[in-house]
Amino acid sequence: MKTLSALRDEVQDWQQLHQRVVDALELAQMGDENLRAELEVETTTLEQEFERRELKAMLNGKHDRDDALLAIHAGAGGTDSQDWAEMLQRMYLRWAERNGYTTEILDYSPGEEAGTKSITIAISGPYAYGYLRSEKGVHRLVRLSPFDAAHRRHTSFALVEILPQVEDDIEIEINPNDLRIDVYKSAGAGGQNVQKNATAVRITHLPTGLVVTCQNERSQTQNRENAMRVLKARLLEIKEQERAKELSELRGEYTKAEWGNQIRSYVLHPYQMVKDHRTNYEVGNAQGVLDGDLDGFIEAYLRANVGNN
């Protein structure tokens, strides 16, 4: 019923757009100069709407309509990398807010001195996964370090993971006997306990060795539910990767994705530039990107990968 409702709304939107085009053509054929300004505005609006829908039509992957789980992990480099992970966290939260998505922090590990060690965020809304899957990979930052007394230039890395949220995916069945569930007290910066009761949850999936933790909620039950959401998403990703590997090996084109291959570089010194290494799309306004303006990068990635889902 959820899929049917979404398809019905989409068909209705296209019918309404078609009617707007028909109405505009009829007004244009009347040749009334008084309607010229109004028609120019409507034509521009229709062109923008078609561009938006053309981009949306590229989101034809199996899980593109789904909500997303976004995880950020600081790389090697101590405080600088943890600060970079927090900058990315802010960037994606800003992007989600600009595009009307709701966000929920499921798990958060603060840095030792500053920043973020790792964070998992649920991003909910139509096509959240479809748009965000372009962000999966290693992100590199080049800047003058605010944590270096000599103010030298540093390079920092962070890994971004994007997973589809699947509440009831029939392909993912988890046997309760395959799980080891531990509870412990939530920890804050420096490792100190921030709650008196053991509400944080760690779930280990024994067959795969996957470990998922959630400690952001005050309720053990909520943390357990959120941890299961993340575990399901990770198991689904493993299954999809196995399928993709099998298909690619049959085609003779399989290449293992290594952690060190950055997808995008953010340069703040000696000049400002953000460049995506997969599409060569780049912009000079690095601060705008860090404030959540990612649409150009997302569109370039989708256009470059049409038909590859």
The letter for the amino acid at 5 is: S
pLDDT at 36: 85
Question: If DSSP codes are grouped into helix, strand and coil, which group holds residue 273?
Answer: strand
Residue 293, pLDDT > 60, answer: yes
Report the share of the chain in percent with pLDDT over 70: 90
- Are 291 and 94 a contacting pair, CB within 8 Å? yes
How far separated are the first and last CA of the chain, in Å rounded?
25
In this predicted model, what pLDDT tens digit does every residue of 89-114 receive, in sequence order? 999 999 999 999 999 999 999 998 88
> What is the token pair recorded at 247?
């298909």
Helix (H) or strand (E) holding 228, with range, is helix 220-251
Which tens digits make up the pLDDT trace of 132-178? 999 999 999 999 999 887 888 899 999 999 999 876 655 678 899 99
Asked if residue 280 has pLDDT above 90, the reply is: yes
Render pLDDT for 185-229 as a digit per residue (tens, 0 to 9). 876 655 555 555 788 999 999 999 999 999 887 789 999 999 999
- And the tokens for 233? 């998403």
- Cβ neighbours, 10 Å, residue 27: 15
Residues sharing a CB contact under 8 Å with residue 78, sequence separation 6 or more, in sequence order: 112
pLDDT digits (tens, 9 = 90+) for 72-93: 999 977 899 999 999 999 999 9
What pLDDT was estimated at residue 96?
A: 97
Segment 292-303 mean pLDDT: 94
Whole-number pLDDT of residue 76: 78
Quote the tokens at residue 154. Answer: 């540093």
Average pLDDT estimate for 52-73: 88
| Torsions phi, psi for 306 (to 5 deg) | -60, 125
Q: What is the rounded distance in angstroms from the CA atom of residue 15 to the CA atom of residue 47?
A: 16
**How far apart are alpha carbons 286 and 266 in whole angstroms?**
7
* 163 vs 233: CA distance, rounded Å: 6
Residue 90 CB contacts under 8 Å (≥ 6 apart), including other chains: 290
The mean predicted confidence, pLDDT, of the chain is: 87
> What is the model's pLDDT at position 255?
45
Over residues 274-297, the mean pLDDT reads 96
16-32 tens-digit pLDDT: 999 999 999 988 888 88
Residue 273 bridge partners (DSSP): 267
The DSSP bridge partners found for residue 158 are 74, 139
Backbone angles phi, psi at 267, to 5 degrees: -110, 120
